Structure 1
Amino acid sequence: MSIKDPKQLGTAIRERRRQLKVTQKELAMTCGSGLRFIVDLEKGKPTCQIGKALQILQALGLDIRIAAKDIERHGGDKP
């Protein structure tokens, strides 16, 4: 799945949490974060802390992978 914005990330997190039948409160307690953070993250709040978000992803068994796009530079040269 390609994630392009915070809202898509939040949706992916919410879907996985529901798939695992975990409540927002349970997830917050497991990760040592507040319920409000989980709610905001799932809503796609763009200012959520990346470190905490990564912790939530790990708790849900999700990975983030970074892949370079093949983008041509001006003039046709490839990087």
Structure 2
Amino acid sequence: MTVPLIQTAADLGRAIRAKRKALGLQQQDLAMQSGVSLPTVSAIENGKETARIGLVLQLCRDLGIRLSVLD
């Protein structure tokens, strides 16, 4: 399996969207599950660069997305 390289907010947003869809969730489902507003979920998935990192990490945790730092 190829691991996507995340280099931009847009890359991370696409990864979050892909995982959400793979889990069969709608944006509003994820928003309710994560305690994040629907516009925020949409903005993050669309690569908004000024999204709060804590909210982005919350979505990742709730979707089971693991982030790693590579040397």
Aligned residues: 68
Unmatched tracts of structure 2, length 5 or more: none
| Equivalent residue for 2:52, pick from 44, 49, 53 | 49
Q: Runs of 4+ in structure 1 displaced over 6 angstroms? A: none
Give the distance between the partners of 1:40 and 1:54, measured in 2 at CA.
Answer: 14
User: What is aligned with 1:3?
Assistant: 6
Larger radius of gyration: 1
Q: TM-score, normalised by structure 2?
A: 0.93
Identity of aligned residues (%): 35
Which has the higher relative contact order, 1 or 2, with Cα contacts under 8 A spaced 6 or more apart?
Answer: 2
Aligned-pair RMSD on alpha carbons? 0.6
Structure 1 gaps, min length 5: 69-79
**Hey, which of these two has a bigger chunk of helix by percent?**
2
Please list the CA deviations of residues 24-72 of structure 1 after superposition, one character each: whole Å capped at 9, or x if unmatched.
Answer: 001000000100000000000000000110010010010110112xxxx
